[in-house]
A and B are shown apart, each in its own frame.
Chain A
Amino acid sequence: MEFGLSEEQKLLQDSLTRFLGEQVPLDHIRAVAAGDRKDTTAWSGLSELGIPGLIIPESLGGVGLGMLDAVVVAEALGYHITPGPFLSSAIIAPTILMAAGQTDRLADIAAGHYRIGVALSEAIGSRLDAGISVANGTATGKALFALDAEADGYLINGPDNSVYWVNCEDSGLSRKLLTTIDKTRTICELQLDQAAAHLISEDPECLQAGVDAGRVIQAADSLGAAQCMLDQAVAYSMQREQFNRVIASFQAVKHMCAEMASQLEPCRSLVWYAGHAMATASDDARVTACHAKAHLSEVAQFVARTSTEVHGGMGFTDLVGLHYWFKRIGANRQLLGSPELVRNEAAKAQNLVA
């Protein structure tokens, strides 16, 4: 019996953390956020490490690792609020394609040659009457808040939670960048006017598998980002002096940090288990995925605001850049369902909803 990361997973975590520490410094985040630099700088480095094909089987051109490994990677990416399409192109889309048995383009995705976004917001909770209809192999309508404005194509949810593939080369597809608070990942609106739509699956379980996987990864991303905010708060409090002593020696500040740590530390186990449950197709995988996503949304939000408070006025400024983590955590909370929506899905999955 071993509840924890294997030696290989720890190695993966360490090497990725070193890589990201060098490749994704705060200056890089600032440049991406300001629009001065594309997120592709970090992503192409990650592609060389095989990250886009992390969960794609070796026989299909990927690395062939599982969801717990992906959780480890996501935690490290979140810690460094790494720009790039990991969630959509490396996790959600491959999961759906594998569940649907549509594997012919996976090698391109794994190699980083084809970057695939996802437009699934309408499957989780349609706003402003967005959605698409499909007729004669073409799709028409609107998808809001699609993940990754730089993608080469998208998996998009059609009627009854079916999934279609649309390509950006298609003249029937137009895309508009939607500015959000989180500049580390790009989000867009897709307008489709009889765009060629290739059916991936009509089985709603395929789409759901992608959403479940995405939620676990977002939870891991928030875990990493929140851990970084906690570490920054503790480090800052140890050097900032007021009343002739470091503020870390004031009980009020210590208790804020202790509250963050005590909320966050059990989350690590929840997220690891959620990854493990998905990797082993356990019966409780969906419920755990929902809880990981919803609970991490709440805890990371608490850490985000508390860490900012520990930093005092500096936390509110652009100077320390803490707000990039704050905003990443805020985005994770809403994407793929706000905590209330996701908890309701957890209730449904346990037959607690009449």
Chain B
Amino acid sequence: MDLSYGPEYDVFRDEVRTFIQDNLDNQPKPGAGPQSEEVRQWQAKLIENGFHSRTIPTEYGGYGAEPDIIQSRIIAEEFGAAQMNTGFSGQGISMLTPVLLEMGTEAQKQQFIKKTIHGELIWCQGYSEPGAGSDLASLTTRAELDGDEWVINGQKIWTSTAHISDWIFCLVRTEPEAPKHQGISFLLFEMNTPGIDVRPLVDMTGTANFNEVFFTDVRVPKDQIVGQRGQGWQVANAILGHERGSLAPPDAAMSRLNGVVKLMQQETISGERVIDNPIFRDRLLKLQGRVMAMQYNDMRLLSAKINKSQDTKLAGMVVKLIGTELRHEIECLGIDVMGEIGLSYGDNPYLRGNGSWQYQYMYFLGLIIGGGTSQIQKNIISERGLGMPKEPKIAQAGV
């Protein structure tokens, strides 16, 4: 066990700190729009200095560094500690770019990666459908080849940022006769193509975090496909795995838990600070122990990325399941600490933390469901982690 990053990284950390010190006043002002010039310039500066898109090759607009997990971790730590703007995020950067690097054609890499990481192209992800949630591979949005164009008909749901996106990466059924996992293709197309209708989907938080997207005879050039026809499922799976762990990072959970501590020190019940109430305090401490376990689990996973001989398969599989449930409970304690004040929302004058406790409490219930429900996670853990068999398939209905 050696938890130091080693002296060679001290120099790197100093470089990151120097950049942060020198640029504290250059980062975009809070509230600057994603299309504003200052945000674009900041993004370019981050990439130029290797603090964004660090390992993406220079020919595709990245910084071109060799992958180094610890350097990436140090950047995240230092930017986090200084609450420094970390630049653009989103599904185009976190999910599509890695896929294009691995499976895209040279022309696709040239066309999309540089613009995506510079925030010039915003992407949404078209996976889930009303009839294809946990059983995603049963999706029915169809694309049929007509000359040099795909013609797409169907509907997607839970599509984050669809209303502001320039492009979509989308799973469609192109081989209706093939077994369901082998009949899907991964297409890329512009959101302003005729026949696309985006409708916001207001959720329990009162916000439209997602959209429904309808396709009616949407015509897309034939070559806008990643991988071969029928390979879309493999492409999608590669990036879904990438999404899951990142939905509930333990460091963010600890930061929220520390927020609960502050709340408990400030809020009083009949003159007594909540932190001095042993029942509330025990709930807090119970959660603290659980978050700590997830933080060290995370360190073990980080270490395993460097030292490939460590077996952390199960440790990685549990992060989404435990992390989202845990976060939901932390936000719940934040609300319980406030009692009736915890009901406050919107313009209520007693609102605490801009309503983030209530918002996150509801939002994390969404994340328990989204990105593969807790029940699907348990299937994966039991089958791939513990080697238990799949449930036998039942005969087709009507047979």
The number of residue pairs between A and B whose CB atoms lie closer than 8 Å in the complex comes to: 158
- Tell me the chain B residues, 363-399 only, with Cβ under 8 Å from chain A: 375, 377-379, 381-383, 385-392
| B386 & A3 in contact (Cβ 8 Å cutoff) | no
A238 CA to B387 CA, complexed, in Å = 9
Among the listed B2, B285, B296, B317, which residue makes an inter-chain contact with A346, where contact means beta carbons less than 8 Å apart? B285
A258 CA to B2 CA, complexed, in Å = 30
| B288 & A3 in contact (Cβ 8 Å cutoff) | no
Given contacts A257-B386, A270-B292, A272-B296, A251 and B379 within 8 Å (CB-CB): yes
Among the listed B70, B293, B307, which residue makes an inter-chain contact with A266, where contact means beta carbons less than 8 Å apart? B293
Shortest CB distance B266–A (Å): 14
Among the listed A4, A238, A246, A352, which residue makes an inter-chain contact with B1, where contact means beta carbons less than 8 Å apart? A4
Residue of A nearest to B261 (CB): A352
A269 contacts partner chain B, Cβ-Cβ < 8 Å: yes
Residues of A within 8 A of B300 (CB): 3-4, 268-269, 272
Residues of A within 8 A of B386 (CB): 234, 257-258, 261
B11 contacts partner chain A, Cβ-Cβ < 8 Å: no
Given contacts A6-B1, A265-B315, A1 and B297 within 8 Å (CB-CB): no
Secondary structure call for the B interface: helix
| A269 & B299 in contact (Cβ 8 Å cutoff) | yes
Residues of A within 8 A of B293 (CB): 266-267, 269-270, 291, 295
Residues of A within 8 A of B385 (CB): 258, 261
A340 contacts partner chain B, Cβ-Cβ < 8 Å: yes
Residues of A within 8 A of B2 (CB): 1-2
A173 CA to B122 CA, complexed, in Å = 78
- Tell me the chain B residues, 259-308 only, with Cβ under 8 Å from chain A: 261, 273, 275-276, 278, 281-282, 284-286, 288-290, 292-294, 296-297, 299-300, 302-304, 306-307
Residues of A within 8 A of B276 (CB): 353-354
Please count how many residues in chain B sit with their CB below 8 Å of the partner chain's CB atoms: 54
In the complex, per-residue mask of A155-169: 1 if CB is within 8 Å of any chain B CB, else 0 = 000000000000000
A120 contacts partner chain B, Cβ-Cβ < 8 Å: no
A68 CA to B1 CA, complexed, in Å = 9
| A2 & B322 in contact (Cβ 8 Å cutoff) | no
| A266 & B294 in contact (Cβ 8 Å cutoff) | yes
In the complex, per-residue mask of A267-294: 1 if CB is within 8 Å of any chain B CB, else 0 = 1111011001000000000001001101
Shortest CB distance A295–B (Å): 4
Shortest CB distance A200–B (Å): 30
- 5 A-B residue pairs with CB within 8 Å: A1-B306, A248-B388, A249-B388, A261-B386, A268-B315
Chain B interfacial positions (CB closer than 8 Å to A): 1-6, 70, 261, 273, 275-276, 278, 281-282, 284-286, 288-290, 292-294, 296-297, 299-300, 302-304, 306-307, 310, 314-315, 317-318, 321-322, 375, 377-379, 381-383, 385-392
Chain A interfacial positions (CB closer than 8 Å to B): 1-6, 68, 234, 237-238, 245-246, 248-251, 253-255, 257-259, 261-263, 265-270, 272-273, 276, 288, 291-292, 294-295, 298, 340, 343-344, 346-347, 352-354
